[in-house]
Amino acid sequence: MDNEYILEMKGITKQFSNVEVLHQVDFKIKKGEVHALMGENGAGKSTLIKILTGVYTKDAGQVFFNGEEIHPSSTLEAQQLGISPIYQEISLIPQLSVAENIFISREIKKKGFIDWKEIYKKAEEILKDLGINIDVRKPLRSYGTAIQQMVAIARSIMINSKMVIMDEATSSLDDDEVQILFNIIRKLKSQGISILFISHRLPEIFEISDSITILKDGSLVGEYPTSSLSRTELVSKMIGRNAEDVVNYKRTNRQIKDEYYLRAKSIKSGVKLRGINLDIRKGEVVGLAGLLGAGRTELARVLFGIDHKDSGSIEINGKEISFKLPREAIKYGIAFCSEDRKVEGIIPNMTVAENLCITNMKKVSYFGVINKRKCSSIAEEFVKKLRIKTPSIAQNIKNLSGGNQQKVILARWLSMEPDFIILDEPTRGIDVGAKKEIEDLIRQMSSQGISILLISSEFEELVRNCDRIVVLRDGMNAGILDGNDISEDKIMNLIANGNMAVGGN
């Protein structure tokens, strides 16, 4: 075996109930390199990784790790070999303390009993190494997603691994946290540890990776040094068509009538919202920018009646309202597409049709009895309209790729013909192709007169799609950008420096 490689996968093939999801895939990672695995949702990335980490067994092919052929049959076995996955969904135990999470299943023992003192000390050291100072005795759930992610990384470092797999590890981090993570990656790299990095955020790939392997529809497209690819080339290879129009879409300024749909004034709620103003006109796409914790999602939750405001007023179409429950907001024609698709969006074991019609039962039922034919025809209509890729509308939604699940959720809200849609990170964790389709949909909806509040951590996305951008900072307005003022630089500037240059509230 060539010793240059820590991992070599050869001719990997995998079928699920007669559908080939991986076809003869070769995949190699050098020692001490950051290797990005790219591909649209459904290209086979997750399956390949699950084979590598022992979650699935391959149907054909060989896996060599550190020069030896391996056949991991469980994640534990893979970890013992030195392969540590950090998954898209953080797989830690929220009720346990930070230290317990780091050391679970490999507790330090003294005379057969767990040596807590040592565990707390070690846990603190490991986290300090990563630049994080937190109380390791507190339960994990008392910290935010970013910290939880770091704990997951700390855990895998602790295992003394030779290769760390980061599957969308940055998807819930803000820019600063991503930089902390990248520093950690560079540190690991300098210690000769290889990183398998998966992310939908292209700038991250170009910043951190050394080489890129691209999959498409379960087959290998090729392996490239990162420096040899341009962003457009990468996207083109991933989606197999020219991606110029995805990456280079230019915004256009639209004329919006001065007719307000929603006016929220000095909304306060808890410590997160400290007096926010927000106006949305009919058919307008308003972006909400800000760092994690700036109050974006919190504001959306108040508008939709999930959380409640302490003070301030919300007017819709000139009438003051106050929703106690989401169902009241829904009755008012408001839709909310949550950022956490898994937890707050899909109903996993129900079909595409059921997921699609569930907000709209009034329309498809009569005295509580569902008209299944009507439900199916609505589902078929939206599957066609939004080009949702699913074998049939009777498929369980959990079997769809992330982008297609998101489309079903969007269809769910569109089918109730809303006046106002709140989209919280609608393109998070979905591939470039689906992302473009969802952005197209946003424009379509607004041209039909639907008002939209778009929350996104990706400035490009906001710049491309919004008529106006409201920037939040620390639960307050930091400024508003309008028309030609809208640019990534200006958003960044407002987040960093607040409202000095641009006249706003």
Partner 1 sequence: MDQIKKLQAGELFRKYGALIVLIIMLLINAVITPNFVHINTMWNVLIQAFCVLVISMGMTFVIATGGIDISVGSTMAISSIIFAKLLIEMECSFFVSILAALLAACIFGAFNGVLIGVFNFQPIVATLILMISGRGIAQQFNNGAVISFYGNKYSDIGTYRIGGLVPIQVIIVILIIAIALFLAKNTTFGLYVQSIGDNSTASKLVGIRTTAIIVMTYILCAFLAGFAASLETLRICSADPNNIGNNMELDCIAAVAIGGTPMSGGKTIIWGTVVGALVMQLITTMMNMNNIFYAYALVIKSAIIIIALYLQKEKTQ
54 binds partner 1 (CB under 8 A): no
**Closer to partner 1 at the Cβ: 362 or 384?**
362
**Closer to partner 1 at the Cβ: 59 or 482?**
59
| Segment interacting with partner 1 (CB under 8 A) among 143-151, 176-184, 251-259, 328-336 | 328-336
Burial class (CB in 10 A: 0-12, 13-18, 19+), 470: buried
Q: E strand or H helix at 285, and its extent?
A: strand 285-289
354 binds partner 1 (CB under 8 A): yes
- Alpha carbon 346 to chain centroid distance? 14
255 binds partner 1 (CB under 8 A): no
373 binds partner 1 (CB under 8 A): no
User: In angstroms, rounded to a whole number, what is the distance separating the alpha carbons of residues 122 and 125?
Assistant: 5
HSE value, Cβ hemisphere, 13 Å, CA-based, for 381:
12
Q: Which of 336, 382, 420, 459 binds partner 1 (CB under 8 A)?
A: 336
Q: How far is the CB of 328 from partner 1 (least distance, A)?
A: 9
Q: How far is the CB of 42 from partner 1 (least distance, A)?
A: 17
Q: How do strand 273-281 and strand 369-370 relate by DSSP bridges?
A: unpaired
321 binds partner 1 (CB under 8 A): no
Question: Of 146, 145, 164, which is closest to residue 155 (Cα–Cα)?
Answer: 164
Q: How do strand 211-216 and strand 34-38 relate by DSSP bridges?
A: parallel
SS3 114: strand
343 binds partner 1 (CB under 8 A): yes
Q: How far is CA 466 from CA 251, 410, 417, in A?
A: 8, 18, 21
- CB neighbour list of residue 142: distance below 8 Å, 6 or more residues apart: none
96 binds partner 1 (CB under 8 A): no
**Closer to partner 1 at the Cβ: 55 or 134?**
55
Question: Of 320, 301, 297, which is closest to residue 309 (Cα–Cα)?
Answer: 301
Binding mask 3-42 for partner 1 (x = CB under 8 A): -------------xxxx-----------------------
CB of 299 within 8 A of CB of 477?
no
361 binds partner 1 (CB under 8 A): yes
459 binds partner 1 (CB under 8 A): no
Q: How far is the CB of 180 from partner 1 (least distance, A)?
A: 29
Site for partner 1 in 267-306 (CB under 8 A): 304, 306
Q: Which of 60, 76, 114, 347 binds partner 1 (CB under 8 A)?
A: 347
Question: How many residues of this chain bind partner 1 (CB under 8 A)?
Answer: 35
- CB neighbour list of residue 380: distance below 8 Å, 6 or more residues apart: 393
**Closer to partner 1 at the Cβ: 318 or 368?**
368
Q: Which of 369, 384, 489, 503 binds partner 1 (CB under 8 A)?
A: 369
192 binds partner 1 (CB under 8 A): no
